[in-house]
Amino acid sequence: MTREVPAAVIAGVPVDGRHWIGGERVASGETFTDISPIDGSVIGEIARGTAEEAAAAVAAAKAAFPGWAATPRPERARILHAIAGGVEKRLEELAVVETTDNGALLRSHRRGVMPRVAHNFRFFADWLLKLEHEDFETRGHTNHVSWDPAGPCVLITPWNAPLMLATWKVAPALAAGNTVVLKPAEWSPLTASLLADIAAEAGLPAGVLNVVQGYGPEIGDALTSHPDVRRIGFTGSVATARRIAASAAANLTPMSLELGGKSPLLVFADADLDLAVDLAVEQYDNAGQVCLAATRVLVEETVAEEFTRRFVGRVSRLKQGDPRDEATDIGPVIHPCQLEKIDGFVQRALAAGARAVIGGHPEQGQYYAPTLLTGVAQTSEIVQEEVFGPVVTLQTFTGEEEAVRLANDTRFGLAATVATGDPERAGRVTAQLVAGTVWVNCFFVRDLRAPFGGSRRSGMGREGGTWSFDFYCDVKNTVTAPNGWKAHG
């Protein structure tokens, strides 16, 4: 028996809380409550999917796959551009809904995040049309490389940048000719539902994109263990990735995993200190709920005192509050459970001897004060484990060798940032850092042509540009003999 799910209405924008399967809205027997982190208010009830909805979504994706895979590249690209146009048309609505749902800054959604969502579709639509590999010969035989659609893909995406990170996967998967079952995080499901509406309005055939909501153990496991699923893309925690890998193992389903980070920011004495401070303050973006965040600030000993003084001055001027206010710099943490987790990390660090130079405590509601901890040991939990909140540690070093050793001394390897005024030093240091992305005197500059992913426990595989098509396709090499066209008889 299904349960009625009235649409959530946010600033006049209705959002359907039911699943989107095979081009239709589908309810479930149960729902879960979606709550805004801004003030704890109830946004609406969301269909709580089970193995039944998982099976239906995969079946719809499987049925739609032959037709979509056979759709000529220019037509697939046209529809992806139409989806991008729909995103741009509804940009303000998407921004308001996502801010209400996950608490990130409205100004960031308007100016950066939602435009990037549209760009994700436009970029992969255009890349599809120029995707090719030059033919080459082997003893007179011609080798031709092609990218064949793999089949239904399950994409499981996180709550910290819901629509942008979802479309980072959805766009190349669709461009490649695959069909998709998207499961957004249960803490921020709303813009995925709006994406289903936009895609349908753009002319995407029924079943090519399906959206299902729910909890990992109830629907996620059923999706990742399904034998008809040909690819799994996941962004989230290491613990969840282990569960997905175990679930997918029986079918040997290929996975692309973008996981946690504990990234370093290395500040050398020859760096522009004001720039270095700006880079460090950026790590509080989205209340520190960014996998790429350089939460371990490593500063050369001779400038550490001055760096800390300037950093504290800058952070003290940040405004924390309602993310819908254009003047706000730091919004709330996504959920009470996440707030409790963040504070647990901080309080254990303080009990172990760390010092809170600033912050170190929750604020009213679901807000956590931007925090800087010093006096932390390299082996301590606060240095080694991902907090995923507005918490930064500061350690010092005396030279390049020690800086690199400290930077690489975690189980992660997602990103790293280097601040230095010496190009030669930058080259030496970046060559030794274990990270999927390294920024020098900048942060969070991402081009979709570049490979993106993590090393060590920060992930598996790379996406972006042709790397995305390599993952979402079966790459095939066809070898043709010379003069082999003579008909028999």
Determine the Cα angle at 25 with ends 23 and 31, to 5°.
Answer: 145
Here the tokens at position 34 are 């979606």
H/E stretch holding 400 reads: helix 400-408
Sorting pLDDT into bands at 50, 70 and 90, what band is 344? very high
pLDDT, one tens digit per residue, over 438-460 is: 999 999 999 999 999 999 999 99
Q: Is 463 among the catalytic positions?
A: no
Is this structure's pTM higher than 0.85? Answer: yes
pLDDT for residue 484 is more than 80: no
Percent of the chain with pLDDT over 90: 95
Top-tier CATH class for 8-259+454-477: alpha beta
The answer to whether the Cα torsion of 189, 56, 20, 469 is positive or negative is positive
Q: What does the domain layout of the chain look like in residue ranges?
A: 8-259+454-477, 264-440
Residue in 45, 53, 93, 291 annotated catalytic:
291
- Tell me the mean pLDDT in the region 294-310: 97
Among 146, 141, 148, smallest CA distance to 479 is for 141
Distance CA 446, CA 175 (A): 20
- Tell me the mean pLDDT in the region 158-186: 96
Helix (H, G, I), strand (E, B), or coil: what is residue 419? Answer: strand
Per-residue pLDDT at 95:
97
pLDDT, one tens digit per residue, over 131-168 is: 999 999 999 999 999 999 999 999 999 999 999 999 99
Here the tokens at position 137 are 């010969």
- Tell me the mean pLDDT in the region 340-368: 96
Helix (H, G, I), strand (E, B), or coil: what is residue 14? Answer: strand
pLDDT, one tens digit per residue, over 378-436 is: 999 999 999 999 999 999 999 999 999 999 999 999 999 999 999 999 999 999 999 99
Sorting pLDDT into bands at 50, 70 and 90, what band is 489? low
Name the E strands within 126-228.
136-138, 141-149, 153-156, 180-183, 209-211
pLDDT for residue 27 is more than 70: yes
Per-residue pLDDT at 2:
62
Per-residue pLDDT at 3:
66
- Provide the mean pLDDT of the chain: 95
Query: 264-440 architecture in CATH?
Result: 3-Layer(aba) Sandwich (3.40)
Sorting pLDDT into bands at 50, 70 and 90, what band is 487? low
Distances (CA, A) of 486 to 144, 354, 482, 489: 20, 79, 11, 9
Here the tokens at position 167 are 């479309």
pLDDT, one tens digit per residue, over 456-466 is: 999 999 999 99
Sorting pLDDT into bands at 50, 70 and 90, what band is 7? confident
pLDDT for residue 182 is more than 90: yes
Q: Is 258 among the catalytic positions?
A: yes
State the burial class of residue 209 (Cβ atoms within 10 Å of its Cβ: 0-12, 13-18, 19+): buried
Sorting pLDDT into bands at 50, 70 and 90, what band is 8? confident
Residue in 45, 53, 93, 258 annotated catalytic:
258
Helix (H, G, I), strand (E, B), or coil: what is residue 312? Answer: helix
Here the tokens at position 381 are 């939990």
Contact yes or no for 409/378 (Cβ under 8 A) = yes
Per-residue pLDDT at 1:
54
